[in-house]
Structure 1
Amino acid sequence: MTSATAIELRSFNDLFAVRGDLLDVYAEVRAPLLHLANYAVSSFGERLDRHGAEDGFQAVLAYEDGHPVGYAYGNRIEDGDRYWQRMDPEPSERYTTCATVALKEIGVRPAWRGLGVARSVHDAFLASRCEPYVTLMVNPAAGGGKVHALYRSWGYEDLGHSQPSPASPRLAVMIRPTA
């Protein structure tokens, strides 16, 4: 590891091209939680395959010396998408009547945290998006609340809550303009 300036960002619209790299980084990022069903690599792989087949899929990976060190990925969601249907309270039509991009996952290997890699992959992911809003879900307890606070510092606001699956914790749904 050197610094964030040595990081190369690559964008992909084909999951097949980067599935292995995403799984490798995820396994290290979530290592302390992998014993929980929702966080198991197999569960993530199933979600990843579903998301990769949805409209507007995009992944941005950060590489250092050809080694994947971080990622962000997501896809477009429309009015009526299960993303919105599971949310409490029901989201405003302001967000649902137009396409929105859902940032489904963001992760950085521990040795590369604190170098701006997460922000770099986040911003690169949004740079080519045409949707007016980006939404994400975060476990408010992650990092003792630090992850939630980080997203707030990036301009996200709390919109509601969601529990995407019975094995998932209750997550905070956040949103902000893409630009």
Structure 2
Amino acid sequence: MTPAPTVELRTFTTLEHMRGDLIDVYAEVRAPLLHLPNYAVTAFGERLDRHGGEPGFTAVLAYADGLPVGYAYGNTIRHGDRYWQRTSPQPADKYTKRPAIAMKEIGVRPAWRGSGTARRIHDALLATRDEPYVTLMVNPAAGEGKVHALYRSWGYADIGQSQPSPASPVLMVMARDTHTAI
């Protein structure tokens, strides 16, 4: 078994010192989709700025040899949040009655995929959180279904669907206990 590559994980609670690095990684991660309005770098930058100003914003970036290779970020969502309002069917109360963390984005540069880096970033972000549940949205067609299957292997279960914007595809909403050990 090959040991996991060495990466440094850095945690941020503001965009100030990492916004450019995160956008650089995003642009490479989503390169095949950047021609679509929802995935354009400008659209992502607008979402990132909005998310960065929301309660509980936290990001973890992975660096190798000083260069960013992956990221994940999320923020706190509460009962009645627009995240839950646009999820259909309405999720079970156990997910929505207390604050949860919404994992808004996670991505790893193609050269780092399959190295365990995404899972390390994901777990490092969740280690900073007190919310009992984490939720995320995934395009079930991403990677021909492999991304959806990966999240299932990490303990996530499908709880509904959402279309966050008219330009967005219909996404699968998934959730799990924040501190599930897989």
TM range (shorter): over 0.9
Letter of the structure 2 residue corresponding to residue 147 of structure 1: V
CA root-mean-square deviation: 1.1
Q: Say whether residues 1:98 and 2:98 are aligned partners.
A: yes
State whether structure 2 residue 132 is matched by structure 1 residue 128: no
Note the 1:3-152 alignment, pairs <5 A.
4-152=4-152
Q: How far has the Cα of 1:4 moved from its partner?
A: 3.5
Measure how far apart 1:77 and its partner are.
0.1
Secondary structure at 2:17 match in 1: helix
Give me the identity figure in percent: 72
Distance in 2 between residues matched to 1:25 and 1:162, nearest whole Å: 25
Query: 1:173, 1:16 → 2: CA distance?
Result: 29
TM-score, normalised with respect to structure 2: 0.96
SS in 1 for 2:146: helix
Task: Provide the C-alpha distance between the structure 1 equivalents of 2:16 and 2:34, rounded to a whole number of angstroms.
Answer: 23
Deviation at residue 15 of structure 1 after TM alignment: 1.1
CA-to-aligned-CA distance 1:26-46 (integer Å, 9 cap, x gap):
000000000000000000000
Q: Aligned equivalents of 2:70 and 2:162: distance in 1?
A: 25
DSSP-derived class of the 1:47 partner: helix
Q: Deviations over 1:5-36 (max 9, x none)?
A: 31000000011211001100000000000000
Q: For each residue in 1:110-136, what CA deviation from the matched residue of structure 2 results, as whole angstroms up to 9, or x when unmatched?
A: 011110000000000001100000000
Q: Which runs of 5+ in 2 are unaligned?
A: none
Q: 1:170 deviation in Å?
A: 0.2
Deviation, structure 1 residue 91: 1.1
Q: How many Å apart are 1:95 and its aligned residue?
A: 1.1
- CA–CA distance in 2 between the matches of 1:17 and 1:87? 33
- More divergent stretch after superposition (5-14 vs 143-152): 5-14
* Secondary structure in structure 1 of the residue aligned to 2:114: coil
Q: In the TM superposition, what is the alpha-carbon distance from 1:93 to its structure 2 partner? A: 1.4
Q: Kindly indicate which of the two structures has a greater share of residues assigned to helix.
A: 1
> How many residue pairs were aligned?
178
Amino acid in the other structure paired with 2:142? A
User: 3-state DSSP class of the match of 2:165?
Assistant: coil
